[in-house]
Structure 1
Amino acid sequence: MEKGGISAILFDLDNTLVDTATAGQLALSKVCELLRSKLKDTNTSDICQRFARKLHEERFDPSAGRTIDDVRINHWHEALQEAESVDPGRALASDCYYTWKTTRLQALALSPEVLTLLQELKCSYKLLLLTNGDAQTQREKLEAVRCEGLFSNVVVGGEHAEQKPAVSIFTHCFEQLGVKPQDCIMVGDSLDTDIQGGFDAGVQATVWINKSTDALPENSVSPDYTIPSVLDLPNVLAKLK
């Protein structure tokens, strides 16, 4: 692939390069199986959906003195209590959490097509992985996916004072790569963090991964390009030449 008017590409990780959503659903299904073997006459799907909502609303503060594992075991404990109206004990909550965590990590992987794409892009562009999330969780994902060698730099939001969409973390990325904002594009699935952050930081173009082909939400930032899969990125790069 020939280099166009840019020299660097910033990639998001979750649901951009790896299908974290599908891995998460598989992990919840595994926990449902576990709960059906432990609890009788229980709506296991309700328990799992309660956990999923807590995970979605999670605001982890590492300075509070608890690990992310502790916080998420507590999510499962609360979900079990709410659904069962009794306290089933933290041992079951811990079993649920580690079943979910292990299954999700095992399911995370770069597809052969995405791996080939990154290997080809690496020959022409500086690639940087910029992912939000607490440090432990994201580093565990990176280890599971084994993709760090494909990037010039990996930046995990939880290891910095601010995460996407803050301009400060994008500025850090530009400094790490030795490039200017206008030399880069930002590729990600989140309008609120990836696209808004890239726009605010002044990158040459933002590329939104919209797998569901949903319409752009009202009052949302407008991406420069919208594609259904990261595999369509070469078409965007061709237009930027």
Structure 2
Amino acid sequence: LAEELTQEYGIPGDVSVKITTTYLKLFRKCPDNKIHTLDTWRMTLWSKALGEKYSYLARKIYERWLYLRYYYLTLASDVVCMLRQLRVKYLLGLITNGPSNAQWEKIRKLSLEQYFDVILVSGDLPWEKPEREIFRKACRVLNVKPANCAMIGDKLETDILGGIEANLGYTIWISTLDKPSLLKRDPQPNFIIKHVTDLLSILNGGLDVSEFEDSSW
């Protein structure tokens, strides 16, 4: 987007980078606002990031940013295939932290409702991950015992810790490039996988779980 600001509107390259960086910081700090709609709030943030000289571009830049956001933020075809396969045999739940409007926008843009039996957004509830209550809420909605559930996530401090605190049957951590391995002080999942689609092999028993990393020390 910074390149487009320079190419389309003649904004100097260093200024374009500063504008997009400023917007990202503002957006991450406060992605939603209870008083304004998402569109109005984001255009306000873009207006601040663009500064007085370029604030007249706020609507155009916001619309372009929104298009690019969901152009790149998509579910990979192998993940969609996995979700469809799992849904045949298992009840699936999605728990996400964040403001209600912003999170539900992502959920609907990505058409996630068709893949899950329950979706909980912390902004709609008095709890967020890793609080055990939000996990127990999902279990109640699905009408399953916590011991019969598995929590899969890539964030140790929310997904895995929350699953452990809620006494779920298993926790499975998806390692990331910036966090490829565990430290002893980290919450300890039952298993570590490198890609979410490895779940099929674990849950369906297609491979011996010993092929995946057991996190026990």
Same fold (TM over 0.5): yes
Deviation, 1:174, is: 0.8
Q: Contact 1:225–1:236 at 8 Å: present in 2 too?
A: no
The Cα offsets for residues 175-214 of structure 1, whole Å up to 9 and x where unpaired, read as: 1000121111111122222112212211112112223152
Determine whether 1:227 maps to 2:193. yes
Task: Report 1:108-123 matches (<5 A).
Answer: 108-123=73-88
Deviation, 1:57, is: 3.1
Give the AA of the match of 2:114.
Answer: G
| Counterpart for residue 96 of structure 2 | 131
Deviation, 1:42, is: 3.9
Structure 2 counterpart SS, 1:163? coil
Q: Contact 2:32–2:102 at 8 Å: present in 1 too?
A: no
Q: Number of paired residues? A: 204
Task: Note closer, same or farther for the CA distance 1:233–1:69 as it changes in structure 2 (3 Å cut).
Answer: same
How far apart, in 2, do the equivalents of 1:215 and 1:50 lie?
32
Q: Contact 1:32–1:48 at 8 Å: present in 2 too?
A: no
Structure 2 counterpart SS, 1:235? helix
State TM-score, norm by structure 1. Answer: 0.73
Q: Contact 2:48–2:55 at 8 Å: present in 1 too?
A: no
Task: Report 1:92-241 matches (<5 A).
Answer: 92-212=57-177, 214-216=180-182, 219-237=185-203, 238=205, 239=209
Task: Note closer, same or farther for the CA distance 1:192–1:76 as it changes in structure 2 (3 Å cut).
Answer: farther
How far apart, in 2, do the equivalents of 1:214 and 1:227 lie?
10
Structure 1 counterpart SS, 2:12? coil
Structure 2 counterpart SS, 1:126? coil
| Counterpart for residue 215 of structure 2 | none
**RMSD value, Cα:** 2.5
Deviation, 1:218, is: 6.8
Determine whether 1:66 maps to 2:32. no
Q: Contact 2:164–2:171 at 8 Å: present in 1 too?
A: yes
Determine whether 1:50 maps to 2:25. no
Deviation, 1:36, is: 3.7
Task: Note closer, same or farther for the CA distance 1:190–1:35 as it changes in structure 2 (3 Å cut).
Answer: farther
Name the larger-Rg structure.
2
Any gaps of 5 or more consecutive residues in structure 2? 211-217
Any gaps of 5 or more consecutive residues in structure 1? 1-29, 82-86
State TM-score, norm by structure 2. Answer: 0.81
**Of the candidates 11, 15, 20, which is equivalent to residue 40 of structure 1?**
11
Deviation, 1:59, is: 6.6
Give the AA of the match of 2:83.
Answer: L
Structure 1 counterpart SS, 2:89? coil
Q: Which moved more, 1:211-220 or 1:101-110?
A: 211-220
Identity of counterpart residues, as a percentage?
30
Deviation, 1:124, is: 1.4
Structure 2 counterpart SS, 1:88? helix
Greater RCO (Cα-Cα under 8 Å, separation 6 or more): 1
Task: Note closer, same or farther for the CA distance 1:235–1:50 as it changes in structure 2 (3 Å cut).
Answer: same
